[in-house]
Amino acid sequence: MSANPIPAQKKLCVWAETPERQRQLQSRLGKFRRGATPLFLHGQPLAEALAANGMDGILLYSDNIPLVKATVMFLEEQCPACARFVVCSAKNIALLRSWEGNAPSLLREDETPETWEQRVERSLVLNQWLMQPEFRMILPKLRAIPSLPESHRRVVQALQDPEFQIDDVAKLISQDLALTAQLLKIVNSAALGLSQPVQSISTAIGVLGVVRLQSLVVSAWAFFFADEAMCRGFSPSEEWQHALAVAEAAQKLAREARAKGALVETTFIAGILHDVGKVLLAANSPETYAGIIALARSKKQSLHQTEKEVLGYTHAEVGACVLGLWGLDLAIVEAVWRHNDPELADSLELTPAKFIHDANLHMRTAEGGFDPKAPLKVKP
């Protein structure tokens, strides 16, 4: 199932300190229906007002950062279907980027109305997608899943700035030695096929590009925060090697199908992240997940089928939820969600989900793993 396009005229609530600030915000959001809510309305009364008026999102604008944070965190609990946006001034952006938990979308004062519109629309689509029944069952259980480390989160947030400076991002990455080592390892892996080794983070950023770097920062943490001995029968390092191999195979499929460059790129990134839900499940419920792994082997059935029987959901759904909450592109999130969908086996669609499904199936069944020289085609 694909995400439905967001209908025009979504309803946004503007929550600002002064009427002047409210008018300024409303003037920037002509594509959306706007409503103003006074700053003194917060807590349960604010949540009730948002629900009563069917608001799809709320924009908060105040120099009282503690109040903004408290309000956003409360709304996350009480109004999960309402997307949260915070307008930030230059003096407050550093404070807001150090957010703990599931951060709201940040809109800078100096950005253009068009940039605001794109970010708001993208967030509304993603939030709407996560509110589907399948994910509403999982979302309450994600509280036990840790947020990105602060160093990783700052890098991802900095890359969301369209005017980011490579040297500034390189400095952020270099402050975390483990992240630095892992990214250089990824950049120099066979999967990227570079002719010359990359020795510096600045060069790596230029080689990878923004979207790929964001995803690799996420995956570098996700695959290595779990200890090898934490969950019996589960090896994060082996899963990482599998992820890279699937990403390479899926990328090959996309190129053979003459997909556009952006789709090839999305396919590679989604391939790296397609099984991240396994790591999250293994790290958060090691005994339960060890039992699931053992049960799948004894019954000689797929791991995702056994997950569904025991948990009621799969690693693909958990991974999609978490990546969505971390702010990755919807195309990547949806591909991670669908990569085990049996309907893709005979599908003619040329999407990241289809490429990853076929590459993953090939990797899991081929003797000796993926051979880059072996024929690998999208099944008609």
CATH of the domain at 278: 1.10.3210.10
Question: Which helix (H) or strand (E) is 78 found in, with range?
Answer: helix 65-78
Task: Find the domain containing 67 and state its range.
Answer: 11-131
Query: Is residue 224 a part of any domain in this protein?
Result: yes
Query: Is residue 259 a part of any domain in this protein?
Result: yes
Same domain, 199 and 278: yes
H helices, E strands: number in the chain: 19, 5
Measured CA to CA in angstroms, residue 367 lies from 119, 274, 363, 372 at distances of 45, 21, 8, 13
Look up residue 140 and give its DSSP letter: G
Where does a domain end: 131, 150, 169? 131
Same domain, 178 and 271: yes
The predicted structure's pLDDT at residue 359: 92
Question: Is 288 exposed, middle or buried, given 0-12, 13-18 or 19+ CB atoms closer than 10 A?
Answer: middle
Q: What is the pLDDT along the chain (380 residues), one digit of tens a residue?
A: 444 444 456 788 888 888 888 888 888 887 787 777 777 788 898 888 888 888 888 888 888 888 888 888 888 888 877 888 888 877 777 667 666 656 688 888 888 888 888 778 877 877 777 777 766 677 666 555 555 667 777 787 777 676 778 888 888 888 877 778 877 877 776 556 666 777 888 888 777 777 677 777 777 777 766 666 778 888 887 888 888 889 889 989 999 998 888 888 889 889 988 998 898 888 777 888 999 999 999 998 889 999 999 988 899 988 888 887 776 777 888 899 989 988 888 888 789 999 999 999 888 775 344 444 444 444 43
Same domain, 303 and 209: yes
Same domain, 158 and 100: no
Alpha helix ranges (H) inside 131-208: 133-138, 150-159, 166-174, 177-187, 201-208
Same domain, 218 and 331: yes
Strand spans (E) along the chain = 11-16, 33-38, 57-61, 83-88, 105-108
Same domain, 37 and 122: yes
Same domain, 169 and 286: yes
The predicted structure's pLDDT at residue 25: 85
Q: Identify the three-state secondary structure at position 61.
A: strand
CA distance 11 to 221: 36
As for how many domains the chain has, the answer is 2
Measured CA to CA in angstroms, residue 108 lies from 23, 61, 90, 330, 369 at distances of 16, 10, 8, 22, 47
